[in-house]
Structure 1
Amino acid sequence: MERRSFIRGAGLAGVLAAGVAPAVHAQATIRWRLASSFPKSLDTIYGGAEVFSKKVSELSGGKFQISVHAGGELMPPFGVVDGVQNGTVEIAHTAPYYFFGKDETFAIGGAIPFGLNSRQMTAWMQEGNGTKLMREFYAQYNIISFSGGNTGAQMGGWFRKEVKTLADMKGLKFRIGGFAGKVVERLGGVPQNIPGGEIYQSLEKGTIDAAEWIGPYDDQKLGFNKVAPFYYYPGWWEGGLELSFYINTKAYQGLSAEYKAIIEAASAYAHVDMQAKYDARNPVALKQLVAQKTKLLPYPKAILDAAFKESMALYSELSASNPNWKKVYTDYAAFRRDQNLWFRFTEAQFDRYMQAAKL
């Protein structure tokens, strides 16, 4: 069988399973630049772009090179959409919800409060209508998207003081990533959208009262436990944050079919790799943080209930005012409903039993 025909017929899963790289011996050498929204110190989330870049190089026999640049190196961490859109860089690696200010629909491609967990998000993207709908939306910004990793469910943030009631949220200056700040605002808080590399100083100086990032492994690296003793859970706004690779449409269309297949394969590899790392490393880091006197606390139910109510109200308002949001969220919400029904009888029941068992 001709090699190209095999790849076209086998699809991504077949290519990955067979360990076959697309034919690249006749391909031109290409060099791209990737702008990340994350600091180099975080080998998990920033590292997702490095894993992707390395795999692209390996699959292309070194002919397709992508240099990875940390947030702030080529452009501000939250400027990467503009950078890809106008062609300053060919590709970015980022969290979609950072760009809700352009259009709230960006957030659905990453995570929204009380949304899908990581497995459900992958299912919606890969087997549901997620990728199709988000790409239709991103086309307005001269972007084509690929899944770029998932953090899994996140923690609920570091607080300088305890939050015991809903009243404690009033006036709270809370660093929270992107879109979820809209819900915090509706609870009376004051959301702050600060890049990861700047959170520690803001928390230390008291410029903010609380901050969330991702989870124990990254949070420990950033030292948040040194300046805020109370660590809350769960991160109700991020049941599973999906990262994205955003590629300039013209740059992507200029690739050969083989190089496009490499992009798809490398992004799939990086996507799985990221959550594997978080799931493996977070438990150890959490135990270390608790041993260092971190006070681990659940969010009071009253706060969760209020946040849920405000989230659903916000989604209804956006569906009435933003056609882009309504189109994507309608499909997302229907998928979420079916997924929660399924997980209720399977994953959730199994997990609850295992977590209570004495192993």
Structure 2
Amino acid sequence: MKRGDFLRASTGGLLATGLTAPALAQTPPQLTWRLQSSYPKTLETLYGTCEFFSRAVADASDGRFRVQVFAAGEIIPPLQIVDGVQQGTVEMGHSGAYFYMGKDPAFAFGTGIPFGLNSRQVNAWFYQGGGIDLLNEFFAGFNMFHLPAGNTGTQMGGWFRKEVRSKADLQGLKMRIGGLAGTALQKLGLVPQQLAAGDTYTALERGTLDAVEWVGPADDEKLGFYRIAPYYYYPSFWEGNSALSFFINLDKWRALPERWQNVVKIAATAAAADTQAKYDVLNPAALRRLVANGTQLRSFPQDVLQESYKAARELYAELSEKYPNFKKLHDHQIAFRGHSQPWWQISDFSYDALMLQAARQNW
């Protein structure tokens, strides 16, 4: 999708600039789809992406195309969204692509990989760098069409019952962690677990888990992890960005009139922009509240970061040898990162460092 399409769409929900009344006179017949999220309604920023999308589609189609939204578990189990979309149980799903790496590790690139791109870089890769097209070549093999559904931005490194003073403290540590990070950190002795939001707090409370990562302050505060695990680590080197996905049954997508396809693309892009904007507003205030309630912020030790980086590189080499889809997406995205980083170093990184220095020294 071209950036101009998004700019013609209002993120306030009335996406009608490019769909004028004369055009709507030729609108196809009314249509209703069902969309289920992996996330509960209580995580209103994640689940709210689906509600925003649904309203935008209705607004842009003058109410002739409606998408009914369902929360985690209402039709399909939370982490079986892809199966439900593939089989046509629902027309659309909303989830993190990396939950489905058991089907093929290349699913990780729909969300993010350890030591990968930040959220702006991944959006550039998606929308202008060929990422969406490459992903859809891959997802077509699973009878799905994919569109980005927002980003949480850089996440936090998670909640730990005990301090992590060195990589030795990861030995045998049971942690809820998503994506390829768990596979990479197994090389350092960590024991990864993948759980849905509704199961994670209970597992931490009962001691089944020693640590848990979810998203960031706004969502983590709602889930209450700080009540059990006081140490809150950063940075989340495994999720420098964390993109969400809209999955669409490919047969349904191909049967959709082009006008409605355009509505879906524009609404999805607007919903994606709205999602990260919400996180960027909610997370700073939530972090202050967590610290006020006793949360202890900690940065990961240097040896954890260095050894994790080595482990991730080893893992990518192993997966690239075994899985052609993984190699194709990995090579393309890493090349994009290498091309992008020099600019980020002299632009955003240097500016952000300057402004943090100014604030701390009270220039």
Cα distance, 1:298 vs structure 2: 0.3
Counterpart for residue 182 of structure 2: 181
Question: Which letter does structure 2 place at the counterpart of 1:21?
Answer: L
Could you tell me which amino acid in structure 1 is paired with residue 347 of structure 2?
T
Q: What is the rounded CA distance, in whole Å, between the counterparts of 1:161 and 1:199 in structure 2? A: 18
Matches within 5 A, 1:143-154: 143-154=144-155
- Superposed counterparts of 1:51-66, under 5 Å: 51-66=52-67
Q: Find the counterpart in structure 2 of residue 20 from structure 1.
A: 18
Q: Give the letter for the 2:268 counterpart.
A: S
- In 2: Cα distance, 1:256 partner to 1:14 partner: 23
What is the distance in 2 between the residues matched to 1:9 and 1:215? 30
AA at the equivalent of 1:309: K
TM-score scaled by structure 2?
0.94
Question: How far apart, CA to CA, are the structure 1 residues paired with 2:320 and 2:58?
Answer: 42
Give the CA deviation at 1:14.
6.0
Residue 161 of structure 1 pairs with residue 154 of structure 2: no
Matched, 1:236 2:237: yes
| C-alpha RMSD of matched pairs (Å) | 1.6
Determine if contact 1:98/1:179 at 8 Å carries over to the other structure. no
Q: What is the SS of the residue equivalent to 2:94?
A: strand
Q: Where does 1:71-90 land on structure 2 (aligned, <5 Å)?
A: 71-90=72-91
Q: CA deviation at 1:74?
A: 0.7
- What residue ranges of structure 2 are gaps of 5+ in the alignment? 11-15
Match of 1:330 in 2: 331
Q: Secondary structure of the residue that 1:346 maps to in structure 2?
A: helix
Output the amino acid matched with 2:24.
V
Residues 16 and 265, structure 1, Cα contact 8 Å, conserved in 2 = yes
Asked whether the 8 Å contact 1:160–1:228 carries over to 2, the reply is: yes
Residue type of the partner of 1:62?
G
Structure-2 residue corresponding to 1:222? 223
Task: Note the C-alpha offset of 1:345.
Answer: 1.1
CA deviation profile, 1:174-216 (whole Å, cap 9, x unmatched): 0001322101211101000000121111111111000000000
What is the alpha-carbon distance in structure 1 between the residues aligned to residue 2 and residue 306 of structure 2? 49
Consecutive unaligned residues in structure 1, runs of 5 or more: 1-7
1:338, CA displacement in angstroms? 1.4
Q: Report the equivalent of 2:352.
A: 351
Residue equivalent to 1:300 = 301
Check conservation: 1:319, 1:325, Cα contact below 8 A: yes
Q: Deviations over 1:239-284 (max 9, x none)?
A: 0111110000111111111111100110010010000000011000
Pair 1:11–1:336, CA change in 2 (3 A)? closer
Give me the whole-angstrom Cα distance separating, in 1, the residues matched to 2:306 and 2:178.
20
Indicate the SS of the match to 2:59: helix
Structure 2 residue aligned with 1:104: 105
The number of equivalent residue pairs is 352
CA contact (8 A) 1:77 1:195 kept: yes
SS state at 1:46 partner: helix
Confirm or deny that 1:200 pairs with 2:198.
Answer: no
- Percent same amino acid among aligned pairs? 46
Q: Distance in 1 between matches of 2:38 and 2:31?
A: 23
CA distance in 1, matches of 2:299, 2:237: 11
Q: Greater shift after overlay, 319-328 or 25-34?
A: 25-34
Partner of 1:16, secondary structure, is coil
Instruction: State the distance in 2 between where 1:35 and 1:185 align.
Output: 32
CA change 1:255–1:24 in 2 (3 A) is farther
8 Å Cα contact 2:6-2:269 kept in structure 1 = no
Structure 2 residue 289 is the aligned partner of structure 1 residue 288: yes
Question: Structure 1 pair 9/279, CA: closer, same or farther in 2 (3 Å)?
Answer: closer
SS in 1 for 2:352: helix
> Deviations for 1:131-162, whole angstroms, at most 9, x for unmatched residues?
11100000000001111000000000000111
Shift in CA distance, 249/11, structure 1 to aligned 2, threshold 3 Å: farther
CA–CA distance in structure 1, aligned partners of residues 169 and 244 of structure 2: 31
| TM superposition shift of 1:21 | 2.6
Which position in structure 2 is the counterpart of 1:123?
124
